[in-house]
Amino acid sequence: MKKNLITAVLMTVATTILLGIIYPLVVTGLAQLIFPKQANGQLIQKDGKNIGSSIIAQGFSSAGYFHPRPSFAGNGYDPTSTNGSQLGPTNQKLIDRVKGDVANAQAENPNTPVPIDLVTGSGSGLDPHITPATAEFQLPRVAKERGTTVEHLRPLVQKHTEGRQFGFLGEARVNVLELNLELDERFPTKKQASIR
**Is 163 in a helix, a strand, or coil?**
coil
pLDDT given for residue 167 in this prediction: 85
Where do the DSSP E strands lie in the chain?
43-46, 49-53, 129-130, 161-162, 173-175
pLDDT given for residue 153 in this prediction: 96
Q: What is the mean pLDDT of residues 44-62?
A: 85
Which of the two residues, 148 and 37, has the higher pLDDT score?
Answer: 148
pLDDT given for residue 80 in this prediction: 80
Cα angle 113, 95, 106; round to 5: 25
Which of the two residues, 118 and 53, has the higher pLDDT score?
Answer: 118
pLDDT given for residue 196 in this prediction: 47
Q: Are 146 and 185 in contact (CB under 8 A)?
A: no
pLDDT exceeds 70 at position 195: no
Residue 63, Cα to own-chain centre: how many angstroms?
19
Q: Is the dihedral of CA 92, 93, 98, 104 positive or negative?
A: positive
pLDDT given for residue 191 in this prediction: 58
pLDDT given for residue 44 in this prediction: 83
**pLDDT tens digits for range 57-91:** 888 989 999 999 998 887 788 888 887 788 888 99
Cα gap 18→38, rounded to integer Å: 25
Cα gap 159→48, rounded to integer Å: 24
Q: Are 178 and 185 in contact (CB under 8 A)?
A: no
Cα gap 22→30, rounded to integer Å: 12
pLDDT given for residue 42 in this prediction: 84
Q: Are 71 and 59 in contact (CB under 8 A)?
A: yes
Q: What does the mean pLDDT of the chain come to?
A: 89
> 102 exposed, middle or buried (CB, 10 Å; 0-12, 13-18, 19+)?
middle
Global pTM value: 0.78
**pLDDT tens digits for range 95-135:** 999 999 999 999 988 889 999 999 998 888 888 999 999 99
Q: What is the mean pLDDT of residues 5-30?
A: 94
pLDDT given for residue 118 in this prediction: 92
